[in-house]
Homo-oligomer: A and B are copies of this chain.
Amino acid sequence: MNILFIMYDQLRFDYLSCAGHPHLHTPNFDRVAAQGMRFTNAYVQSPICGASRMSFYTGRYTSSHGAQWNGFPLRVGEHTMGDHLRKAGMDCWLIGKTHMAADADGMARLGLERDSLIGARQAECGFDSWVRDDGLWGYGPDGFYDSKRSPYNEYLRAQGYEGDNPWADFANSGVEDDGDMASGWMIKNADKPANIAEEHSETPWLTTKTIEFIDQATAPWCAHVSYIKPHWPYIVPAPYHDMYGANHVPAPLRHDAELDDPHPVLKSYQNSKIATLFSREDARQKAIPAYMGLIKQCDDQLGRLLEHLENTGQMDSTMIVLTSDHGDYLGDHWLGEKDFFHEASVKIPMIVMGPRVTADGTRGTTCDALVESIDLTATFIEAAGGTVPDHIVEGRSLMPWLRGENPDWRDYVISEYDYSAREQCVQLGLEPRDARLFMIFDGRFKMIHAEGGFRPILFDLETDPDEFHDLAKGNSHQAEIDRLYSHLGQWGRRLSQRVTKSEQDIKDMRGKSGRKGILPVMYDGSEVPAELTQKYRGPAPAKNKGTA
């Protein structure tokens, strides 16, 4: 049994035809959904790449693993999906992006070298790396955003694309009418075709790398295939660049009520540059067709992968998971990017095609249970035949749902966001540690708590599924708020760091100390079994030396 764990970056939950998109046809996603189960209430642990991914890859909440924003290193020694799967006898490989920042200080403190097997896994979030490319080869006055080597740029140069950074100059740029480069960083260029042969663009390249991996791999394996797309820059090569147009762009999901005395943290997001940009209809009409084209390309490349699995007879022995690290506001709620907790940002596609007959009863169904991204680590451990170490992994296996069971399940999902490195923290005059948000959603009510002395935000998705009306304004709905704070308090007290003792370890250690001579309970020995008061300590005591 193998696991193909495919992640698309910044793919909204509702930009798939199986999820109801009116214009975007994604037959390959739909095919996996038809052969598997689509989870319709799946949420990320943080709506930002790095933090979200560290939760996917550890099965732990962001405030449990501590890598709470992009570039915050995952501390050395944190248990990962790879650690757990290898223990269960399954390799765990990376093909693509992780956004992992290695804990270089921690590794140095423990004497770990990156070129050792142990050190490399520590530096790569527990994966063995088939190919790693985070796909953000930004370059500016201070150099490259990502200081690692770029296998994709190396590939492009080998194909004849010139320069230091063909990722930027070709794969993510178009061409002006006058022949100048038209940067994909500028939304005005989003309707131009990227200046690259389609088969050389990022998504086909990574798909080819995946096929190369599959063709040489020995089962059982887990491969994390991690596409950078449809993440910005919003530009896509022909023929995808003009498949969609203004008539395919949905009206923005926003309401004037959202601008009426908004919560201070939300307001600071509404005032950001990205929000201002995506509040412009011309920007949306440029970006969204490109975004859809990128998704369409992902779907076609998924078709390549599925066909390859079929052709090599591996379809029945492979669990396929399709998901994303967060969504994309695309102008909804007067916002752009992700970074906040409306459904467009925090909800993700989650399609799981279970292998073998265990999942036959649920093929083609949907499940509306409250799923968290951390559940995948637990799911994969169970699928690999391991036992989920629930003192480390905070997620829960989805396998019972795939088997058609109706397990006791969580009552709420949690997502977090640390905006300490963002301009919003500065604007609000907060210290970094207070720039933290917590979302709790119980399936109906969604509350967002902000540290730093702010009131919460509350949405009722039953009466207001579009999340336009913040019910916490004017100190309203206090009973719901109190109830959700009580749950949040319970979550805050969760057992998350006792990673060195399992529940079973603890049961096994009970009552052992008495049989090892620790007996602070005796007046005269009658309190304990006679065998425990025997003199097990060797020869009889010598003469009292103390008073001799």
Contact = CB atoms under 8 A, between A and B. Distances in A.
A373 to B, nearest CB: 18
Contact of A145 (B175, B498, B513, B527): B513
Nearest to A529: B141
Nearest to A104: B500
Contacts of A537: 139, 163-165, 168-169
Nearest to A183: B533
B547 A238 contact: yes
A323 interface: no
A76 interface: yes
Instruction: Determine chain A's interface SS by DSSP, over half rule.
Output: loop
B436 A495 contact: yes
Interface in A370-405: 391
Give the number of copies in the complex.
2
A110 B173 CA distance: 43
Contacts of A75: 77, 497, 499-500
Contact of A491 (B163, B238, B492): B492
B516 A139 contact: yes
Interface stretch (A292-300, A353-361, A414-422): A414-422
Interface in A76-92: 76-77, 83
A332 interface: no
B495 A433 contact: yes
Interface of A: 63-68, 71-77, 83, 103, 105-106, 109-112, 116, 118, 122, 136-145, 160-165, 168-170, 173, 175, 181, 183, 185-188, 193-198, 200, 232-233, 237-238, 273-274, 277, 280, 282-283, 286, 336-337, 391, 418, 420-423, 425-426, 431-433, 436, 438, 449, 451, 485-486, 488-489, 491-493, 495-501, 503, 506-507, 509-525, 527, 531-542, 544-547
16 contacts: A66-B497, A83-B109, A105-B500, A140-B532, A141-B534, A143-B516, A169-B537, A169-B538, A173-B541, A181-B541, A186-B523, A186-B524, A198-B546, A274-B520, A283-B523, A488-B493
